[in-house]
Amino acid sequence: MLEHVPHWIGALLRDVRAGHAKLTIVQDGVVRDAPAIELSSPAFADGARLPERFTADGEGVSPPLVWGEVPAGTAALALIVEDPDAPAPQPLVHAIVYGLPAGERRLAEGAIVADGDGAADGRDVGRNSYRREGWLPPDPPGGHGSHDYVFQLFALSEAPDLDPTPGRSALVDVLAGRVLAAGMLVGTYSRDEPAPLSPASSLAPAG
């Protein structure tokens, strides 16, 4: 995958990025004035570096997620994870999960995997940008700088009627006019650059 891209090519493309303005959550008609859902992970803080375990340099499993209450009238939840810093015309899709029950409040570590036609409770996993079901581990090219991995959660007024394993465009189409609330969480990752200290490590005593 992108770990095989030479460092000099990554550096050459450093300023070539899809852009945060193309994220699903900021597309016209998707969220509007919807209230926020508190979305977080016990594995990393918002805006902090993703542990290697969840990337192509580690085990490549999806990270655990937890979220707060959703509005009354929520019929289902949908999640999309995108990399707007990918050197591509559109953000790279790392995961799609839809049809999550309204009462669900978490996704366990490693939960985003290929599931065929989905689970009995209605949840299903869509296609990432490699056209496969499941979690696409972060894999930024060396020399390209830090990438944001943006987890976007939507509470929907109707359960989406989608074909099995939909892609990004199909999900965006069903979000319009159905989003009651939305949450966002950002993890970062980079290659061939010093990893920033976390707040915890920067406060650790010397010695």
Q: Residue 161 — very low, low, confident or very high, per pLDDT cuts 50/70/90? A: confident
Q: How many helices (H) and strands (E) does the chain have?
A: 3, 9
Share of the chain above pLDDT 90, in %: 69
The kind and range of the H/E element at 76 are strand 76-83
Q: Is a pLDDT exceeding 60 seen at residue 64?
A: yes
CATH of domain 2-192: 3.90.280.10
Q: What are phi and psi of 199, to 5 degrees?
A: -55, -35
| pLDDT of amino acid 5 | 47
Lowest mean pLDDT among 20-34, 36-50, 80-94: 20-34
Can you tell me the mean pLDDT for 60-69? 98
Share of the chain above pLDDT 70, in %: 85
Q: Is a pLDDT exceeding 90 seen at residue 146?
A: yes
Distance CA 170, CA 164 (A): 11
The pTM assigned to this predicted structure is 0.86
Distance CA 205, CA 207 (A): 7
Q: Is a pLDDT exceeding 60 seen at residue 33?
A: yes
